């Protein structure tokens, strides 16, 4: 999740805030828009399941671009609805239920290993 969010930030940093038009490269739709948009639909739906606040699921410029496409382009709105419909189908079928942190939560008391994994206790090697 962290690496995915890091890569989204790299893309966000490349977006020109002063571009002309709602698309990533300006006034005309590009392969960049067609490639990134479905992934961002997935990210907006999936990341909150892993504890990322919904308002932080997308970096700022990507979020603005995404919102503008939903409001201003009927084709992208249709793609959004189709992808979201499939993701909601996954929800209904319990797709996320067995994935740790997405649906499956560890509610047992914290152990020393939990503290090592969360880096509360520094360790380079763990012995049983």
DSSP 51-75: T--GGGSS-HHHHHHHHHHHHH-HH
Tokens encoding 24: 């990533």
Tell me, what DSSP letter sits at residue 103? Answer: T
Please tell me the number of Cα atoms within 13 Å of 122 on its side-chain side: 0
CA distance linking residue 114 with residue 27, whole number of Å: 50
Binned at pLDDT 50, 70 and 90, residue 92 comes out as: very high
CA–CA distances in Å: residue 65 to residues 48, 103, 122: 19, 29, 41
Q: Please determine, for residue 24, whether its predicted confidence score (pLDDT) is greater than 90.
A: yes
Query: Rounded to two decimals, what is the model's pTM?
Result: 0.78
């Amino acid at each position: 999740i962290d690496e995915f969010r890091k890569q989204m930030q790299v893309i966000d940093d490349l977006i020109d805030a002063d571009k002309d038009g709602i698309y990533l490269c300006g006034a005309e739709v590009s392969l960049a828009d067609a490639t990134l948009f479905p992934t961002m639909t997935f990210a907006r739906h999936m990341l909150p399941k892993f504890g990322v606040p919904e308002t932080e699921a997308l970096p700022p410029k990507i979020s603005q671009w995404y919102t503008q496409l939903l409001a201003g382009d009927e084709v992208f709105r249709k793609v959004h609805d189709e992808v979201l419909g499939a993701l909601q189908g996954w929800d209904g079928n319990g797709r996320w239920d067995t994935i740790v942190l997405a649906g499956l939560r560890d509610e047992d008391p914290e152990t020393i290993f939990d503290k090592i994994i969360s880096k509360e206790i520094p360790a380079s090697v763990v012995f049983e």
